[in-house]
Structure 1
Amino acid sequence: MDLDTIREVTVARGRADLAGLGGATGVLAGGTFLFSEPQPQLVRLIDITALGWPACTITTEGLEIAATCTLAQFAAAAPGRELGGGARWRRWRGTALFAQACRALVASHKIWHSATVGGNVCLALPAGAVLAALVALDGVALVWAAGGGDRRIPLREFVIGPGLTVLRQGEVLRSIAIPERALLARTAFRKIALAPLGRSGAVVMGRRESGDRCVLTLTAATTRPVVLDFQLVPDDRAVAAALDEVDPALWFDDPHGAPDWRRHVTGLLAAEVAAELRAEPGGQP
């Protein structure tokens, strides 16, 4: 839709062009949410897509994903498809969550090629599955602070509620770094919705590292991503006990699912994810 309050669009070519962000000035990247509903508080947009950030970059520590990486680029970043990187990249089994997360979103082909990873993270919606995948892989956000300087924030601490993040006025999400130990991990994914093509009611992602440390990440059913850490892959009893410790106020309530239903199905999905991670590849638990 048209945003009839916008009086100026600035195309950022460098970090200095981001001055003035906040208040009546917003960030434009993919714009798929921005242009989906009125934004009466905005009169100016700063387009960050011309900053030239590579979608995905292999680093010495793992993988860096730019905030402007589109969902299509993110989903395609699987071993042998996007970056090359030789044997090291091919071992990164955790990238399987990328495409699974994108498919969990209710989005058209057109949206996939314009919506961005950074937009999904900063929108901070409970059903933000791309956000959840990055949390599940221990992602760390690199934030450009207003006036210069950087902040690094673990993504599990980035969202504090529906549509609410720890970003301060004038700050911009630059990228998300994923450590190699998480990329090397085995993963499992489960999703449920009230309708076959409906918005996710509950999503559970699991990660099992080489030392058998296990992490389950809950989203869609909760107001923000919830991370459950285990020293070993949990059995059903341990999963149930961990879910009992989740603050009841975190279970989300909207037309896509009642809190009690979300809590129940999350328990079922979490048990399935843990069982898959307990099993040896191609074998039994």
Structure 2
Amino acid sequence: MDLHMIDDWVPARTRQDLTGLAASDALVAGGTWLFSQPQPTTTRLIDLSTMGWPDLTIDDDGLEIAATCTIEKLITGDYPAAWRAAPLFGQCARALLASSKIWRTATVGGNICLGFPAGAMISLCAALAGQAVIWRADGSEEYCGISDFVTDVGVTALQPGDVLRAIRLPVAALTEPTALRKVAYAPLGRSGAIVIARGRSDGAAGLTVTVSAGTRRPIVIDAPDAPTALSAVAAIAPHEYHDDAHGKADWRRAVTGHLAAEVVAELAS
């Protein structure tokens, strides 16, 4: 869609170019959502794709994903064999209601910053203990867990003038086994609920279960054992689930319990 109300486009090259952002400014990387509908309050676009951030940085601590990294580059990256959770990247991408053509343009950071419940990159990064690297408007840098970054439907921890720089995934989570289940009203429809379980790579007891898509925000449950995890999923308050065209809250809550039982059983097998 052409955005006829845009007066200016600014290719950002340094952090200084990202200071003093106004309410009428919009950050753009892939732009797959931005250009999908009218943006009547936006008059200037700040292009992050010109910042030159490395898409993927692998080090001893884990993986840093630039906010401007496309979904395609994330899921086709070359990762260490010890990262047992790497297949989850593609599984989450396929849970996103988008074709492979969209993957080539849509960015990980854009998907997260929208804060939509069905944001598959939100599900992925929350499940793998991801930390958002936020460039605050005052020049500071702050780390925020993805499970705290998205606080409600379309609401995030970003304040006016803030920029999501990257997402850090710790090596401890990347080396652990995972299992994912999703459900939608239609075979290729937007996810109505996603549940991801992550075990322990060292054989220790305990697991992490992440509930998303069906809930207003990602909910991460760390439990010492499977029964405790499933009880915690069942205890998620009804108001945490949401209604929209892709699922009613009571249906989402019911299917989430079934999905949780399946991923926990898969890890135990």
TM-score class, shorter? over 0.9
Question: In structure 2, what is the equivalent of residue 199 of structure 1?
Answer: 190
Match status 1:164 vs 2:155 = yes
Query: How far did 1:213 drift?
Result: 2.6
Distance 1:181 1:171 in 2: 28
Question: In structure 1, what is the equivalent of residue 259 of structure 2?
Answer: 269
- The secondary structure found in structure 1 opposite 2:64 is strand
| Equivalent runs, 1:8-157 vs 2, <5 Å | 8-77=8-77, 82=78, 89-157=80-148
Contact 1:24 1:41 (C-alpha < 8 Å) held by counterparts: yes
Q: CA offsets per residue over residues 107-146 of structure 1, 9 Å max, x none? A: 1222110000000110110001111111000000101111
1:159 corresponds to which letter in structure 2? V
Query: How far did 1:20 drift?
Result: 2.5
Q: CA offsets per residue over residues 76-127 of structure 1, 9 Å max, x none? A: 13xxxx25xxxxx110011111000100111122211000000011011000
1:274 corresponds to which letter in structure 2? V
- The secondary structure found in structure 2 opposite 1:153 is strand
Contact 2:25 2:44 (C-alpha < 8 Å) held by counterparts: yes
Question: In structure 2, what is the equivalent of residue 223 of structure 1?
Answer: 216
Q: Which of these residues, 231, 235, 238, is aligned with residue 245 of structure 1? A: 235
* Residues 22/187 of structure 1: CA separation in 2 closer, same or farther (3 Å cut): farther
Distance 2:99 2:170 in 1: 30
Match status 1:185 vs 2:176 = yes
2:19 corresponds to which letter in structure 1? A
- The secondary structure found in structure 2 opposite 1:74 is helix
Determine what percentage of the aligned residue pairs are the same residue. 48
1:225 corresponds to which letter in structure 2? P
Gaps of 5+ in 2: none
- The secondary structure found in structure 1 opposite 2:86 is helix
Gaps of 5+ in 1: 84-88, 280-285
Distance 2:180 2:145 in 1: 21
RMSD between superposed Cα atoms in Å: 1.1
Distance 2:234 2:70 in 1: 36
- The secondary structure found in structure 2 opposite 1:100 is helix
Distance 1:109 1:183 in 2: 24
Q: CA offsets per residue over residues 207-231 of structure 1, 9 Å max, x none? A: 0122233111111111111111102
1:191 corresponds to which letter in structure 2? K
Q: CA offsets per residue over residues 59-80 of structure 1, 9 Å max, x none? A: 2211111101101011113xxx
The runs of 4+ residues in structure 1 deviating greater than 4 Å are none
Contact 2:30 2:107 (C-alpha < 8 Å) held by counterparts: yes
1:268 corresponds to which letter in structure 2? H
Distance 1:113 1:22 in 2: 29
Query: How far did 1:22 drift?
Result: 4.0
Distance 2:145 2:75 in 1: 22
Question: In structure 2, what is the equivalent of residue 174 of structure 1?
Answer: 165
